[in-house]
Structure 1
Amino acid sequence: MQIGDRIRELRENRNMTQTELSEILGMKTYTTVSKWEKNENFPKGRDLKRLAEIFSVSSDYLLGLSQAKTKKSEQQEQSQLLTIYNQLEEDRQEKVLDFASEQLEEQEGNKVLPIFDKKIEEEDDEEYITDYIQGLVAAGHGSFQEDNLYMEVKLRADNVPEKYDTIAKVVGDSMEPLICNDDLLFIEVTNQVDINSIGIFQVNGKNFVKKLKRDYDGSWYLQSLNNNYEEIYLTEDDNIRTIGEVVDIYREG
């Protein structure tokens, strides 16, 4: 399913018309929503976050980066932990409490500031913006993402492009030296990436950042820039989805 298909399904499950959804979003006509659902255009930035709020789903689910619609709430997780704890015998409950206390002490003793926060403290004269990493993409053998990743980051304003739809974090080294492990990718959401361009692709449920290539015999494949990795050839049996095109790369330091 592409992003437009997911929006249509969520809207229809709420018995909502395109006009009603447009009005909730503050739009004068339903034309924009119609184009989204036809996958002719895609919601960006504020509209994407607003859609996630309206339908009570994660942005990752709308983008196709995750099959999980929502992440477990803190209350659900606490309830699950309490249920398990209450089923334990008294001596085992004491062991759980002792272990948890040790973990908390260790955590408090080893706390470090996130790298982005450190940069702000060290360079007060530089302007930063706050945004959110929406997903993980693998520069390697593929990355599954079942839960919504919504991690806040502060970025140097001078290194942020004017136009992009979402941000993903890189795991792996298959795209070095251009793209490295832990780099952040600014992505334009689109269902079509030009040949020889670097895009975000989902193949059989795994997310990749690769260069799209076509062989002499017409076969499509995903290419790594690191020669230690083999090409990933795509077949009709694969479940393939183009998520977007990489428009810029952000690297701390």
Structure 2
Amino acid sequence: MKTLGDRSKEQRKLIGLTQLQLSKKVGVSSVTISQWESGDTSPKGQNLYKLAEALQCSPDWLMFGEEKPKKPESNAEWAGGFETWDSDSPLGDDEVEIPFYMEVELAAGAGIAEAREYFGPKLRFAKSTLKRQGVNASHAACVKVAGNSMEPVLPHGSTVGVDTSHTEITDGKMYAINHDGMLRVKMLYKLPGGGLRLRSYNTEEWPDEHLDTEKLKHIKIIGKVFWYSVLI
């Protein structure tokens, strides 16, 4: 079974980098890269995020061997992001605004927001970006992630985009859930008999949670995470 070190070495060779070249991109010594690849140590915190960025792959692929995202095309019109603008700035032809709930309080069983109209802050996305992700802007919302359970991929204060129309669980994908009124972002896996496994990236402090059908009564899937933004 391949380890993080095996995948890191495999990807480094695939994109044609030496250990020294990779070390300069990550900001560590070549000895450290060698130790990571041999499995003597593992990258932690921001080093994992920087390693994934340098290797043009996702942190979850490095950690768990899950599917790597395709490398963005160099001519992509808006690689995934959002822009913050003055509220009076007109929308461009390829722009749409999505509600940004900076502080989320959920009633048990409720979604991100029950109000029909939203007058708070919004983020602007490219329509083409959402279309590539299969996301309808009217079913999308952005929220803040709190806590360290999803570090290093999603540090405290990260922003995620949620497709509230996508509540069917695909194993290993990231979802926003309402757990007895608490907003949580987790990777979800279906279990035999109708149960559910919740996985965090920070498995050292947050081990997997196994919920049986009885405990699932306290969970509502808000939607699938289709985008996230991290400041490092």
Q: Normalised by the shorter chain, which TM-score bucket?
A: 0.3 to 0.5
**TM-score after normalising by structure 2:** 0.42
**TM-score after normalising by structure 1:** 0.39
Q: Greater share of helix residues, 1 or 2?
A: 1
Answer with 1 or 2: which has the greater Rg: 1
